[in-house]
Amino acid sequence: MAKKQFMLLASLLLVLSVFLAACTGKDKDGATEKEPSKDPEKTEGTENEEDPEEVDDPNAGLEFPLTVSNTGTPIDGGELNYALVSDTPFEGTLSRVLYSGTPDSTVLSFFDENLFTTDGDFLITNDGAATYEVSDDKKSITIKIGDNVNWHDGEPVKASDLLYSYQLLGHPDYTGTRYTFMIENVEGMPAYHNGETTEISGIKISDDDKTITITYTEATPSLLSGIWAYPTPRHHVGDVMTGELTIEELAASDKIRTNPIGFGPYKIAKIVPGESVLYERNDDYWRGKPQLDSIVLKVVSSASILEALKKGDVDIASVPVDQYLNAKEVDNIELLAEVDIAYTYIGFKLGKWDADNKTNVTDPNAKMGNKLVRQAMWYAMDNETIGKELYHGLRFPATTLIVPVFSTFHDSSIETPSYDPEKAKALLDEAGYVDVDGDGFRENDKGEQFVLNFASMSGGETAEPIAQFYMQNWADVGIKVQLLEGRLHEFNSFYDRVEADDPDIDIYQGAWSVGSDPNPSGLYGKDAAFNYTRFTSDKNTELLDAISGEQSLDSEYRAGKFSEWQQLMVDEVPVAPTVFRYYLMGVNKRVTNYSIETGTDLRLWKWGVTE
């Protein structure tokens, strides 16, 4: 009997210890979802610290450093460990023209550069590997590649290498995602793209193969932020133009996958496909001798990244936002953060995409057609609480549709709706949306039931609470909103239906990562397929044309038009921006000369370690 009881106790203990250990492991490995409830006071305190003082001006909330505080002199040489935080291997298409995933672009960034460097507004400067001059009519740009700029195999970077990128991007067989407006706008590109000719008439190369002139069909201010300036080493990867190989073969080639070259500060010494890369210093780098001897990049899963940082095994890594609280406790690292060039928003369906004419058609009688209602819904959303409670302050209320990182174009003086349920109610009353049948929810101005279908994406543990929270917010002001089909929708099916203007969707939650060109035409233009709300207006078209037009080559004029457009979007509310977000980098304290500031001078070649 006694023996039996002992066995029971022993087995119970065993079970318990496994569970306890499992919990520890989980917490340590970053599943922080339970953190707030465990120690509410501490969390509260943390939030107050992070609370942006003035939510209207996102820049005011910035209190993370952009540059590491270690200003020590780096040791000569040394090795830096960089973690590519990803739960999947990197695909390994190491070509700027052909790659598709973000992990690949990280791998590329260490050995391959843009010919131009950019400033804080993501505009190209004359400090890079090449210099440029724009013609008086602003229609063509002449790019001169520096004499000391060489590929890793010693060959000089030629103008025809840059031409090669254009030849690949515009090639009839090209299936990547980068045949964009700025490529299509090159004179003669459409004819080349359709296979009518093998020459791109708008691109001319000098006799010494160091200078290239690109002429555009229309002058555009996007030139200085959107020009393609990544050359492709024709001699190394092989020439598609001579029929030596096809684009498909090129993408699958070892010259791109295991043995690529660039002209960046470090060159690839070895690749273990999908999981790690060893870079060595490129002594022939055009800016001078890079600081480090070598860099090791390895893929680390988000589950182990914090422990890896803590162990000192990894020097630089992006930290998943949901591990922020745990990351703060790690002593040997410093957290840097910057506002990401992205925003989340609620979109209101206002029309249809006319596929035949490739244009957006706004329906004035759309269910969401009343702009007072849309404004009210913006006022009703408590984005600050979302940012604080679910993201520990790493997301904060968004203001206009131009992300604050574009300091010249983001207009922080525009007054945007912030959480104010009373104001929302007043707007709805004004719109004539009142509760007629006394069920606690408003009817529309004709006295009919007003129930909105809300499409939101699944993914991550915050997706559901956020959707429910907004629905509660709207219910508080009397608008009945229900989840489309009562559930969240998977990414592909969500965008398929939003894109197809599914009549069941009235409002949806989406996000855009906007890239380095602030021009919003691709997302909000009359002819933009990505303009999912299908909002158009004469004023909108006029302003977007002005932003893309020739006159906007004058930066001041352009900033003015940007302001007007941002104001228009706040007045008309085709979309209500919800939150801006920070991204976090964890950096070991031994790292010096490292910064995530846009347009910083502390570029990759200067990164060093002090011990």
Partner 1 sequence: MLKFILRRTLLMIPQLILLSLVIFMLAKAMPGDAITGAFMGNPDATPEQIEKIREKFGLNDPWYVQYGRWLGKAVQGDFGMSYTHQQPVTTLIAGRVENTVLLSLFTAIMIYLIAIPLGIIAGRWTDSWADKLIVTYNYVAFATPTFVFALLMLFVFAFVLGWFPYTGSVDIKIESGTWAYMVSRAEHLVLPVMSGAIIGTVGTIQYLRNDIIDQKTKEYIKTARAKGVPEGRVYSRHILRNSLLPIAAFLGYEITGLIGGSVFIETIFSYQGLGQLFIQSINLRDFTVVTALVLISGTAVVVGTMLSDIILSLVDPRIRIE
Sequence-ordered list of residues with C-beta below 8 angstroms from that of 229, at least 6 positions apart, any chain: 114, 115, 116, 124, 130, 143, 162
Q: Which one among 70, 93, 318, 593 touches partner 1, defined by CB under 8 A?
A: 93
Sequence-ordered list of residues with C-beta below 8 angstroms from that of 466, at least 6 positions apart, any chain: 386, 390, 456, 509
Q: Which one among 141, 251, 403, 596 touches partner 1, defined by CB under 8 A?
A: 251
| Residue 496 in contact with partner 1, rule: CB under 8 A | yes
Residues 122-151 touching partner 1, rule: CB under 8 A, are: none
| Residue 226 in contact with partner 1, rule: CB under 8 A | yes
The answer to whether the beta carbons of residues 91 and 105 sit under 8 Å apart is no
As measured in angstroms, the least distance from the Cβ of 241 to partner 1 is 19
Residues 256-295 touching partner 1, rule: CB under 8 A, are: 257, 270, 272-278
Looking at residue 45, its amino acid is: G
Residue (64 or 353) nearer to partner 1, CB? 353
CA-based diameter of the chain, in Å?
A: 99
Closest alpha carbon to 340 in 274, 405, 414: 405
Residues 522-581 touching partner 1, rule: CB under 8 A, are: 522-523, 528-530
Q: Which two structure tokens, joined as six digits, stand for 412?
A: 């922080």
| Residue 252 in contact with partner 1, rule: CB under 8 A | yes
| Residue 312 in contact with partner 1, rule: CB under 8 A | no
Q: Which two structure tokens, joined as six digits, stand for 21?
A: 């250990």
The stretch among 99-107, 117-125, 159-167, 425-433 that binds partner 1 (CB under 8 A) is 99-107
| Residue 301 in contact with partner 1, rule: CB under 8 A | yes
| Residue 101 in contact with partner 1, rule: CB under 8 A | yes
| Residue 26 in contact with partner 1, rule: CB under 8 A | yes
Residue (256 or 467) nearer to partner 1, CB? 256
| Residue 583 in contact with partner 1, rule: CB under 8 A | no
The stretch among 12-20, 51-59, 109-117, 446-454 that binds partner 1 (CB under 8 A) is 12-20
Residue (26 or 138) nearer to partner 1, CB? 26
As measured in angstroms, the least distance from the Cβ of 197 to partner 1 is 18
Q: Which one among 9, 11, 476, 487 touches partner 1, defined by CB under 8 A?
A: 11
| Residue 304 in contact with partner 1, rule: CB under 8 A | yes
Closest alpha carbon to 575 in 366, 350, 391, 414: 350
CA-CA distance, 406 to 121, in Å (whole number)? 5
Residue (222 or 291) nearer to partner 1, CB? 222
Q: Which two structure tokens, joined as six digits, stand for 152?
A: 């890793």
| Residue 235 in contact with partner 1, rule: CB under 8 A | no
CA-CA distance, 145 to 229, in Å (whole number)? 11
CA-CA distance, 330 to 94, in Å (whole number)? 34
As measured in angstroms, the least distance from the Cβ of 182 to partner 1 is 7
Residues 156-215 touching partner 1, rule: CB under 8 A, are: 173, 175-182, 184
Helix crossing, 371-380 with 421-431: angle to 10°?
A: 160
The answer to whether the beta carbons of residues 531 and 525 sit under 8 Å apart is yes
The answer to whether the beta carbons of residues 587 and 337 sit under 8 Å apart is no
| Residue 341 in contact with partner 1, rule: CB under 8 A | no
Strand order in the sheet with 203-205: 130-134, 140-145, 211-215, 203-205
The answer to whether the beta carbons of residues 442 and 428 sit under 8 Å apart is yes
| Residue 311 in contact with partner 1, rule: CB under 8 A | yes
Residue (63 or 249) nearer to partner 1, CB? 249
Q: What is the DSSP string of 547-576?
A: HHSGGGGSHHHHHHHHHHHHHHHHHH-SEE
The answer to whether the beta carbons of residues 104 and 91 sit under 8 Å apart is yes
CA-CA distance, 397 to 491, in Å (whole number)? 24
As measured in angstroms, the least distance from the Cβ of 517 to partner 1 is 7
As measured in angstroms, the least distance from the Cβ of 372 to partner 1 is 29
CA-CA distance, 369 to 243, in Å (whole number)? 54
Residues 447-486 touching partner 1, rule: CB under 8 A, are: none
| Residue 512 in contact with partner 1, rule: CB under 8 A | yes
Phi-psi group of 414: left, alpha or beta (phi > 0 → left; psi -120 to 50 → alpha; rest → beta): beta
As measured in angstroms, the least distance from the Cβ of 129 to partner 1 is 24
Closest alpha carbon to 28 in 329, 283, 240: 329
Residue (260 or 478) nearer to partner 1, CB? 260
As measured in angstroms, the least distance from the Cβ of 389 to partner 1 is 26
The stretch among 48-56, 61-69, 441-449, 490-498 that binds partner 1 (CB under 8 A) is 490-498
| Residue 299 in contact with partner 1, rule: CB under 8 A | yes
As measured in angstroms, the least distance from the Cβ of 570 to partner 1 is 21
| Residue 513 in contact with partner 1, rule: CB under 8 A | yes
CA-CA distance, 320 to 31, in Å (whole number)? 10
The stretch among 112-120, 130-138, 472-480, 520-528 that binds partner 1 (CB under 8 A) is 520-528
Binding mask 48-87 for partner 1 (x = CB under 8 A): ---------------------------------------x
Q: Which two structure tokens, joined as six digits, stand for 81?
A: 């460990």
Residue (98 or 484) nearer to partner 1, CB? 98
Sequence-ordered list of residues with C-beta below 8 angstroms from that of 490, at least 6 positions apart, any chain: 457, 458, 459
| Residue 9 in contact with partner 1, rule: CB under 8 A | no
As measured in angstroms, the least distance from the Cβ of 314 to partner 1 is 9
| Residue 15 in contact with partner 1, rule: CB under 8 A | yes
Burial class (CB in 10 A: 0-12, 13-18, 19+), 387: buried
The stretch among 4-12, 33-41, 373-381, 419-427 that binds partner 1 (CB under 8 A) is 4-12
CA-CA distance, 283 to 277, in Å (whole number)? 19
As measured in angstroms, the least distance from the Cβ of 251 to partner 1 is 4
Q: Which two structure tokens, joined as six digits, stand for 474?
A: 């709207």
